């Protein structure tokens, strides 16, 4: 029984072929492709408005040199947002509950921001490892601490996203199992737990959106440090 709670985090397979790539590409199929017509429908207008709003929120803290990353960060935001929200539907798989996938997204982008800073302004990037006015005896220890905190950033990005989504999915499954089990024994308690389940689902929708935004926002802040 306890093991079945974690079956939802197992990558689905068909004929021994993992379907994670298909589950990652499926959200992109739901987005309407832009046409060449002047007059568009409401869905395309809503999509353009959302993309414009997301891009403004992400690009506001960055200077002009960081605006080259607008397409990458906005696409990542839409991808994570779509995957997180679709993963709340019944009988679906959420790829972002896999630490390997989140690390595969976080590490290359974090490394790209770091290499961008080392290429464009190496002195300023290395200067973050040692705060100004540090006493001489503390210099080796502070350099070591700042280096560890720098290298742990992609791990923190991946673990944060994985832990929040995994905890939410487990809570939903636990409460839904309790609601079903109590339905024939104590209907009143079952109705109460169903209300709690509804509120928790609304909370998880908010968490899915917030975690996608936080993931991309932290990457943009790391980029701001290096440009």
Per-residue pLDDT of the chain (227 residues; tens, 9 = 90+): 444 666 666 666 777 666 766 767 777 676 666 666 655 677 777 778 888 888 888 887 777 777 888 888 888 888 898 888 888 887 777 888 888 889 999 999 999 988 888 888 877 777 777 777 777 787 788 888 888 888 899 999 999 999 999 888 888 888 888 888 888 888 888 888 889 889 999 999 999 999 999 999 899 888 888 87
92 closest CA partner among 46, 33, 45, 30: 30
Structure tokens at 55: 């891009």
Q: How far apart are CA 40 and CA 37, in angstroms?
A: 7
Dihedral angle sign, alpha carbons of residues 132, 133, 139, 145: negative
Task: List the structure tokens of 59.
Answer: 């690009």
Q: How buried is 193 (Cβ within 10 angstroms: 0-12 exposed, 13-18 middle, 19+ buried)?
A: buried
Domain ranges of the chain: 19-31+41-226
- The pTM for the full model equals 0.80
């Amino acid at each position: 029984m306890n093991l079945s709670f974690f079956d939802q985090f197992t990558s689905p397979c068909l004929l021994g072929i993992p379907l994670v790539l298909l589950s990652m590409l499926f959200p992109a199929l739901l987005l309407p492709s832009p046409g060449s017509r002047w007059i568009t429908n409401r869905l395309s207008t809503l999509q353009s408005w959302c993309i414009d709003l997301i891009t403004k929120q992400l690009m506001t803290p960055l200077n002009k040199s960081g605006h080259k990353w607008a397409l990458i960060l906005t696409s990542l935001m839409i991808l994570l947002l779509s995957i997180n929200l679709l993963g709340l539907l019944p009988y679906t798989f959420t790829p972002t509950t896999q630490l390997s996938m989140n690390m595969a997204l976080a590490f290359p982008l974090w490394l790209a921001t770091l290499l961008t800073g080392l290429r464009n302004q190496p002195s300023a990037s290395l200067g973050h490892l040692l705060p100004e006015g540090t006493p001489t005896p503390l210099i080796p220890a502070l350099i070591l601490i700042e280096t560890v905190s720098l290298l742990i950033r992609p791990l923190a990005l991946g673990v944060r996203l994985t832990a929040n989504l995994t905890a939410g999915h487990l809570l939903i499954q636990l409460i839904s199992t309790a609601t079903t089990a109590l339905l024939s024994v104590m209907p009143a308690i079952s109705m109460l737990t169903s209300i709690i389940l509804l509120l928790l689902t609304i909370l998880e929708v908010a968490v899915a959106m917030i975690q996608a935004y936080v993931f991309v926002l932290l990457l943009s802040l790391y980029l701001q440090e290096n440009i």
